[in-house]
Chains A and B, each alone.
Chain A
C-alpha cells in the first residue's frame, strides 16, 4: 500500500475554495481524505460546517461529485449512491460520507448502523470537533466532560458538559465492520494511511478523525495541529484500528503529556476546577487501562 507523506502527496485539490474558518481542523481532514481518495470519488455530506461552506450556489468547493444529504442520512445517501453506481456498472469509484460528531454519533447513528449492517461499499468519515459547531457550538454526544458549550454552560452548578464522549469507534466496531480506525489531523501521515486502508477495503469502513475547531474551542488558528497532537499525546484521544475483528492500539505513550496544558489552551475548558480535571484524568486512565489490557499493540 502507498505510504502517503508530505513529499509524495498530490498537489491536486479536490476540496478547494470553501469558506471554512482559518485553522479549521475538519476542512483539513476532508482535504487530505479527498487527496487520498481521488477524482473518482462520490461524496455525501449532511448538514454541518463542511456542507455549509462548500455548496454555496454558484460556488462549489468539491471538484468531484458531491451531495448534501438530509442531516440524519449520510450513511443512507452514500449507500444509495454506491448501489446506484453498482447497478449502472460504473466501477473503480469511491463513495464517501463526511459527517460531523453530531451528524454521526447523534442524528446519523441509525443510518450509519444500517449501512454497516448491509456492509455497503462506502467509507464513512466522522470529523469530530466535539460539538455542533455549524449551529453555534452546542453539546453533542461526542462533547467531552467539562466542555463549555452554548447548551452546556459552565456555572456555579455545572462544569459544562457532564457526560463523557460516546465510544463511537467501539460502537462501530461492535457491528463487526470490515475496517474502522481513529485518527487525528495532528498526525496526518497516520490519518492518510488509514484512509488508504479504508479505500482498499471492500465493504464498509469508518474513520473517526479528531479535528480541532478554533471557533468552537476558543484557540488560535495557528495551534490547531498542535492541539490535535496534544490530545493524542495526553491520552484524551487515541489512535487505533479495528481490523479482522481485532482492536489494535497504534500509539501507546509511556507517559502522557500534560492534560492541563491541552485543556488550558482552549477557552472551552478555562473554567475547569482541579476536581473537574481529576474526573477527566480518571476517565482517561480507566479507558487506557482497558485498551492496554484488551487491545493488541502494533
Chain B
C-alpha cells in the first residue's frame, strides 16, 4: 500500500511493522510526530506494545536498556539536546550489547538555540559504540527501521543502532511511501531471539558488570571487532531486504555516477537528493561529476571508500557539522580512509546547512565547479554564508 506521509509517520509505520515490545520516549521537536503516532498505534491496538511515558531522554534510554536486558525489543526516538541528554546511556547500552533501535531527528545543538536540521547532534555520539545510519528520504526511513532490528539483533553484531533523518527536511516533509505488508515484514524480521547475553529466570545474569584493568580492554576489543564485522551483516541484510521488498540501498554507501568521475561529492542524508539532481544536470553538460551517498558513519566504510574513490581527482565532503577547532567530522574520517591510497585525491570540506541553513542546487554546483577548477581554494569552504570566511 502506498501512503502520502511525512518522514516521522514513515518512522512510526516502520516501527509498528517491526513489532517492538516497549516504546519509551520523551518528546522533542522535530521527533514528536513519530512518537505521537506510535502512542496512537498502541492506543488503537494496531501496535501491541507497552508505551512508557518517561520523564526524560535519559530515562528513555535507561528504560530501553531495562527492556533489552530481559530480552525484549525496545524502541526510542529523540533529537538534538535530547540525544545529548541521554548520551551517558549510549555507551552503556552498546557495551552491554543491547540491540536497541533509536530514531534520531538530526537537529542543531544550542546555543544559539535552533530547532532546525543539521547533523551536529549525532556526530557527538560517533564514539558511543552505536551503529549510525543516515537516510535520504521517508521511504528509506521506514525501511531502515525494519532493517535496523535485523542488523542490531544479529548474533554476530548485538549492537544498538541509531537511524538518523534530517530534522524537518525529512521528518516533516510528505512523500509517497510504500508501506510493506505485515506478513512480509514478519517473514523478513522474525521475533527477537533470546541471546545468551540477556536475563533469564532459568539462567540468571548480572549485566552491565564492572571489569577492571585486567579485563576491560578485552571487552572493548571484542566490541570493536564485532562492530567492524557488522559491515558484512549490514550488506547481507540490505541484500535480503531487496529480495523481499524490491528496494535496495547499497549497504554502507551508494555510488552515483562515480565510475568515470573526476570529482565526487560525499553527502549524508537528505542533501543527497538535491545533489543527485545537480549531478544529472552537470552530467548532461558533459561534466564528469559524481555523488557518493555515505549511509553509515559507524561502522565506517573506509575500505569501500578507498575502492570507490581511488581514481577520483578531487573529493568533496559535505558536512552539516563542525568539530570546533578543526573541521567537519565526516571530512576527518574520509581523509583518514583515503590517506592510505597510493595516489591520494585532493579533498575539500564543504560545511553547510548549520541550523537548517538552505543548501541550494547552486551551492552544490559551485562546489563541483570549484573542485574541477585548477585555481587554489581553502580546504574548508562554508556554503551559503553571509559572514567573512
Contacts and interface: CB of A to CB of B under 8 A. Distances in A.
Interface in A39-55: 39-40, 42, 44, 51-52, 54-55
Interface string A89-133: 010010000000000000000110110011000000000000000
Nearest to B60: A76
Given A76-B62, A83-B66, A88-B71, A70 B55 contact: no
A119 B52 CA distance: 11
Chain A interface residue bracket vs B: 35 or more
Interface in B52-82: 52-56, 58-60, 62-72, 74
A57 B217 CA distance: 13
A32 interface: no
Contact of A55 (B69, B74, B209): B209
B62 A84 contact: no
Interface stretch (A58-66, A157-165, A287-295): A58-66
Nearest to B50: A83
A51 B210 CA distance: 9
B49 interface: yes
Nearest to B216: A57
B54 to A, nearest CB: 6
Nearest to B21: A87
A269 B356 CA distance: 58
A153 interface: no
A66 B54 contact: no
Contact of A70 (B50, B72, B92): B92
B207 A68 contact: yes
A113 B56 CA distance: 11
B63 A55 contact: no
A73 B58 contact: yes
Contact of A85 (B65, B70, B92): B70
Contact of B22 (A63, A66, A80, A114): A80
A75 interface: yes
Contact of B208 (A69, A85, A111): A69
Interface stretch (B155-163, B196-204, B281-289): B196-204
B210 A64 contact: no
A57 B209 contact: yes
A56 interface: yes
Contacts of A64: 204
Given A67-B208, A117-B55, 12 more contacts: A40-B201, A56-B211, A66-B207, A67-B69, A76-B24, A76-B58, A79-B52, A83-B22, A84-B72, A88-B71, A110-B59, A114-B59
Interface of B: 21-22, 24, 49-50, 52-56, 58-60, 62-72, 74, 88-89, 92, 199-201, 204-212, 215
13 contacts: A56-B211, A66-B204, A67-B208, A72-B62, A73-B62, A76-B63, A76-B66, A77-B63, A79-B52, A83-B21, A83-B52, A84-B66, A118-B53
